[in-house]
Amino acid sequence: MHLRDFNAGEVIFTQGGQGAGAILVLNGEVRVSADKTELARLRDGDFFGEIALAASEKRTADATATSAQVFDNLVVIPSVAANAVNLHPVQAILGIIIFGSLFGTVGIIVAVPAIAAGKIVFKNIYTDIANASLKATP
């Protein structure tokens, strides 16, 4: 994950380029266009480039800053962290999107550790319930 600053008119990525991960706009604005047609204007808290999270696809649009500060390659470190704590990468990605939407930048940072902790807690609860039900049967 990298924090990057872009000036007005600076290209973040181009249509047809190789996707490496999603990007979060921390502040500023990003213009997304395809074939010179504007598709969206993204502002603080918006994600884009998420197609690269699902598949190793080429970028489907251009992203140009009108001036923006972004976190890029949101999937690279989370997928490594997910492997370290025995999570499926999809769990990490969904957690980052959900926690990021709910809690902003802090949510993105704590998503993978929080999901890993939750998984441990729920797994222990499930194990305790299963063991209790086995002891209760005569």
Question: In this structure, is the dihedral angle defined by the CA atoms of residues 11, 16, 17 and 19, taken in order, positive or negative?
Answer: positive
DSSP 18: B
pLDDT score of 56: 63
Give the global pTM. Answer: 0.52
Fold of the 1-74 domain: Jelly Rolls (2.60.120)
For range 32-47, the mean pLDDT: 87
Tokens of 18: 């190789």
pLDDT score of 37: 92
For residues 38 and 23, give the distance between their C-alpha atoms in angstroms, rounded to a whole number.
Answer: 18
pLDDT-based confidence at residue 48 (cuts at 50, 70, 90): confident
How is the chain split into domains, by residue range? 1-74, 75-138
The per-type count for the chain, helices as H runs and strands as E runs, is 3, 6
Higher pLDDT, 71 or 95: 95
Q: Which residue has the tokens 């490496």?
A: 20
Q: Which of 70, 68, 48 is nearest to 2 (CA)?
A: 70
3-state secondary structure of 74: coil
pLDDT score of 25: 82
